[in-house]
């Protein structure tokens, strides 16, 4: 069935030679395939060809491939002037304008030209593969083959099964991807597919934190980068880089496509910022301002230097208290009795709960209470959180001791789950739901997110590292506090947390 992808004559047709098409053509020729490129716009394919030749030659200069291989790869690239010339292709991928009718028209035309067993693939990022295929006489040979920008660097591709896609089609696409040096991940045809679906949590929880007045955009980014989670960029840096005109539209579209699932709900300020043209780096203004394309970050105020006489950290015995005790040891006097002495400030380390409610439940004064996020320990940037009524002096003394070893501290307003806890718990929860809905396997979820979004770990690996039961407890506490269904734990997470097993455990 279908042409052999290992045959030297297997030819890939690439329609649309813009940002994505040229990248796909490049990895296809370097992967050993013959490629025919077509673009409707005069001169566009020629430009893409020049670009690819330059990229391939540069790879040879850098020693990433031999001169001989580079010449052979460039020789496998051919421009064609019409779709008719795609007739002998084993697979044709379109990377044209993101418009259902136009994509359907192109596939309709191709069907009359190519062999019965030629695969028709779409690089669409937001349209339904099933809807594109529904316009074809043979929808079973249509699949999504969704690459990421820049294609040669982000070495993962989503192989998207439409409702009608035949199993052999996705198997062939897997083999093609591997020959091109890319990792294929399999996903069902659902909004955002796998990567853009799993990537929602970082954005939606980031914007929720900002909307609720808990922290500033740069503080959220600082914590996600330096607070132990080790993200390369925080949500606001990411939105500024992609451009809010693109990421804002994706945010709204995924929310709507999932029938207003609360987990994906954006915040009203996103629409306003889009309307105001605050699109980010490319216009010089977004969540940050940019001077000479460099991000301007507000200077951090100097940390207070006075230390408290005594810090009450609550009764001994639970893990988060231990993290605080280890940190404070040798720096200040520590109290662990049932109640704080009159001269102590109170430091608590809740999971999924805010500082105010924690103080009330412990029967301590909210005025002299602060909370510290210990989810990732206290090695990296520390997050210090006030109650609604913490005295400024208490806050500054707590800040002083947290900064006394030179470590960075971010001071935020009260929040169930601080910043890192709620963002990470949301990310793990959404990926758990992806596994639950059988959109992709746990392995592919981790692979897709770490390769496609460059997260430091796959989301389910994050969950396992921190503990499924801890993530579950954070979400449950947030759900109780807000009463907002966006925080309800996925059944996948709940069951594995209660069973005490890995989030990677497949359903029997
Ligand atoms: N840019 C990204 O980051 C990205 C990432 C993943 C997927 N995608 C998807 O890839 C596709 C292409 O995106 P892009 O960013 O490369 O766009 P682009 O605008 O850079 O390139 C599109 C090219 O297609 C050509 N074209 C348009 N209609 C055509 C037609 N009917 N026949 C032949 N050629 C036609 C245009 O002339 C242009 O050269 C879209 O479906 C997009 O959603 C884009």
What CATH number should be reported for the domain holding residue 256?
A: 1.10.1040.50
- The torsion defined by the Cα of 419, 425, 426 and 429, in degrees rounded to 10, comes to 180
* DSSP character at residue 24: H
- What distance in angstroms lies between residue 45's CA and the mean position of ligand 1's atoms? 12
- Decide: helix, strand or coil at residue 202: helix
Residue 196 is a catalytic residue:
yes
Atom of ligand 1 nearest to the CA of 149: 3
Please tell me whether residues 22 and 87 are part of one structural domain.
Answer: yes
CATH of the domain at 157: 3.40.50.720
For residues 403 and 417, give the distance between their C-alpha atoms in angstroms, rounded to a whole number.
21
* DSSP character at residue 15: E
To test the pocket of ligand 1, the residue of 14, 17, 18 to mutate (highest count of ligand atoms within 8 Å of its CB) is: 18
Question: Domain boundary residue among 173, 189, 205?
Answer: 189
Query: What pLDDT sits at residue 1?
Result: 54
- What distance in angstroms lies between residue 124's CA and the mean position of ligand 1's atoms? 9
Q: Which residues share a beta bridge with 386?
A: 370
Structure tokens at 90: 């084993």
Please tell me whether residues 271 and 124 are part of one structural domain.
Answer: no
Lining residues, ligand 1, CB within 6 Å: 15-21, 39-41, 44, 95-98, 102, 106, 123-125, 147-149
Count of domains observed in the chain: 3
Residue 318 is a catalytic residue:
no
Please tell me whether residues 180 and 280 are part of one structural domain.
Answer: no
- What distance in angstroms lies between residue 253's CA and the mean position of ligand 1's atoms? 19
Q: Report the nearest-CA residue for atom 40 of ligand 1.
A: 98
Residue 125 is a catalytic residue:
yes
Count of other CB atoms within 10 angstroms of residue 2: 18
- For the chain, what percentages of helix, strand and coil (3-state, to nearest 5) are there? 45, 15, 40
Atom of ligand 1 nearest to the CA of 99: 41
- What distance in angstroms lies between residue 15's CA and the mean position of ligand 1's atoms? 9
Q: Which of 28, 123, 125, 431 is catalytic?
A: 125
Say if residues 133 and 52 touch (Cβ distance below 8 Å). no
Residue 197 is a catalytic residue:
no
To test the pocket of ligand 1, the residue of 84, 95, 196, 282 to mutate (highest count of ligand atoms within 8 Å of its CB) is: 95
Count of other CB atoms within 10 angstroms of residue 286: 23
To test the pocket of ligand 1, the residue of 14, 15, 16 to mutate (highest count of ligand atoms within 8 Å of its CB) is: 16
Please tell me whether residues 70 and 151 are part of one structural domain.
Answer: yes
Residue 106 inside a domain? The answer is yes
Please tell me whether residues 120 and 17 are part of one structural domain.
Answer: yes
Atom of ligand 1 nearest to the CA of 147: 6
Q: Which of 94, 158, 205, 237 is catalytic?
A: 158
Atom of ligand 1 nearest to the CA of 39: 34
Please tell me whether residues 217 and 151 are part of one structural domain.
Answer: no
For residues 159 and 121, give the distance between their C-alpha atoms in angstroms, rounded to a whole number.
9
- What distance in angstroms lies between residue 18's CA and the mean position of ligand 1's atoms? 6
Q: Report the nearest-CA residue for atom 37 of ligand 1.
A: 41
For residues 80 and 83, give the distance between their C-alpha atoms in angstroms, rounded to a whole number.
8
- What distance in angstroms lies between residue 39's CA and the mean position of ligand 1's atoms? 10
| Mean pLDDT in consecutive groups of 10 residues from the start of the chain, 508 residues | 87 97 98 98 98 96 96 97 97 97 97 97 96 97 97 97 97 98 98 97 98 98 98 97 94 96 97 97 97 91 95 77 93 94 96 96 96 96 98 98 97 98 98 98 97 96 97 98 98 98 97
Question: Domain boundary residue among 367, 391, 407?
Answer: 407
Residue 502 inside a domain? The answer is no
- What distance in angstroms lies between residue 81's CA and the mean position of ligand 1's atoms? 17
Please tell me whether residues 181 and 44 are part of one structural domain.
Answer: yes
- Treating both helix axes as pointing N-terminal to C-terminal, what angle do 420-436 and 217-226 enclose, rounded to 10 degrees? 70
Query: What pLDDT sits at residue 318?
Result: 61
Please tell me whether residues 185 and 207 are part of one structural domain.
Answer: no
Q: In terms of residue numbers, what domain contains 16?
A: 11-189
Please tell me whether residues 177 and 28 are part of one structural domain.
Answer: yes
Residue 320 inside a domain? The answer is yes
Question: Domain boundary residue among 241, 271, 296?
Answer: 296
Residue 426 inside a domain? The answer is no
Residue 37 inside a domain? The answer is yes
Question: Pick from 325, 327, 299, 305: which is nearest to 396 by CA?
Answer: 305
Residue 498 inside a domain? The answer is no
Please tell me whether residues 174 and 100 are part of one structural domain.
Answer: yes
Residue 184 inside a domain? The answer is yes
Residue 144 inside a domain? The answer is yes
To test the pocket of ligand 1, the residue of 39, 43, 94, 96 to mutate (highest count of ligand atoms within 8 Å of its CB) is: 96
Question: Pick from 374, 396, 398: which is nearest to 474 by CA?
Answer: 374
Atom of ligand 1 nearest to the CA of 44: 39
Distances from the Cα of 460 to the Cα of 315, 408, 424, 434, 444, angstroms:
32, 28, 10, 11, 10
pTM for the model stands at 0.95
For residues 226 and 378, give the distance between their C-alpha atoms in angstroms, rounded to a whole number.
11
- What distance in angstroms lies between residue 507's CA and the mean position of ligand 1's atoms? 38
Please tell me whether residues 184 and 230 are part of one structural domain.
Answer: no
Q: Which of 123, 146, 205, 237 is catalytic?
A: 146
Please tell me whether residues 62 and 174 are part of one structural domain.
Answer: yes
Atom of ligand 1 nearest to the CA of 124: 41
Q: Which of 122, 196, 247, 490 is catalytic?
A: 196
Contacts of 352 by beta carbon, 8 Å cutoff, 6+ apart: 416, 417, 421, 422, 425, 473, 474, 475, 476, 477, 478
Question: Pick from 356, 352, 345, 360: which is nearest to 320 by CA?
Answer: 352
């Amino acid at each position: 069935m279908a042409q052999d992808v290992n045959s030297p004559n297997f030819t890939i047709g690439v329609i649309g030679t813009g940002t994505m098409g040229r990248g796909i053509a490049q990895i296809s020729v370097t992967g050993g395939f013959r490629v025919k490129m077509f673009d409707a716009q005069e001169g566009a394919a020629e430009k893409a060809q020049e670009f690819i030749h330059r990229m391939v030659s540069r790879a040879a200069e850098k020693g990433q491939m031999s001169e001989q291989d580079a010449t052979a790869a460039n020789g496998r690239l051919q421009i064609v002037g019409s779709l008719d010339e795609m007739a002998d292709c084993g697979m044709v991928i379109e990377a044209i304008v993101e418009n259902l009718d136009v994509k359907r028209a192109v596939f309709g035309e191709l069907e009359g030209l190519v062999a019965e067993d030629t695969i028709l693939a779409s690089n669409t990022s937001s349209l339904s593969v099933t809807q594109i295929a529904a316009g074809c006489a043979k929808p079973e040979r249509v699949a999504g083959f969704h690459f990421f920008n820049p294609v040669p660097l982000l070495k993962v591709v989503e192989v998207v099964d439409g409702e009608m896609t035949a199993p052999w089609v996705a198997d062939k696409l897997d083999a093609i991807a591997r020959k091109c040096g890319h990792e294929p991940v399999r996903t069902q045809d659902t909004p955002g597919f796998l990567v853009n679906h799993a990537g929602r949590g970082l954005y939606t929880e980031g914007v929720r934190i900002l909307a609720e007045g808990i922290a500033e955009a740069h503080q959220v980014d600082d914590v996600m980068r330096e607070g132990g989670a080790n993200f390369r960029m925080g949500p606001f840096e990411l939105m500024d880089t992609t451009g809010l005109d693109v990421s804002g539209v994706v945010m709204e579209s995924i929310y709507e496509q999932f029938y207003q699932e609360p987990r994906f709900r954006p915040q009203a300020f996103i629409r306003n910022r889009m309307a105001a043209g605050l699109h980010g780096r490319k216009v010089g203004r977004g969540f940050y301002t940019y001077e000479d394309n460099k991000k301007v970050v507000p200077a951090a105020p100097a940390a207070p230097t006075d230390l408290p006489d005594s810090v009450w950290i609550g009764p001994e015995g639970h893990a988060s208290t231990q993290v605080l005790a280890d940190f404070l040891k040798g720096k200040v006097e520590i109290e662990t009795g049932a109640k704080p002495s009159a001269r102590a400030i109170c430091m608590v380390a809740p999971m999924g709960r805010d500082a105010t409610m924690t103080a009330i439940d412990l029967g301590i004064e909210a005025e002299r209470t602060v909370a510290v996020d210990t989810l990732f320990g206290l090695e990296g940037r520390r997050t210090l959180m006030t109650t609604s009524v913490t005295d400024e002096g208490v806050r500054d003394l707590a800040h002083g001791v947290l900064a006394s070893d030179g470590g960075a501290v971010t001071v935020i307003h009260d929040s169930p789950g601080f910043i890192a806890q709620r963002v990470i718990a949301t990310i793990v929860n959404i990926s758990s739901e992806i596994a639950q809905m059988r959109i992709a396997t746990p392995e592919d979820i981790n692979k897709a997110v770490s390769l496609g979004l460059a997260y430091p770990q796959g989301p389910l690996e994050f969950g396992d590292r921190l503990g499924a039961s801890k993530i579950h407890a954070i979400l449950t506490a947030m759900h109780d506090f807000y009463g907002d269904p966006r925080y309800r734990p996925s059944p996948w997470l709940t069951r594995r947390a209660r069973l005490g097993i890995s989030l990677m455990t497949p359903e029997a």
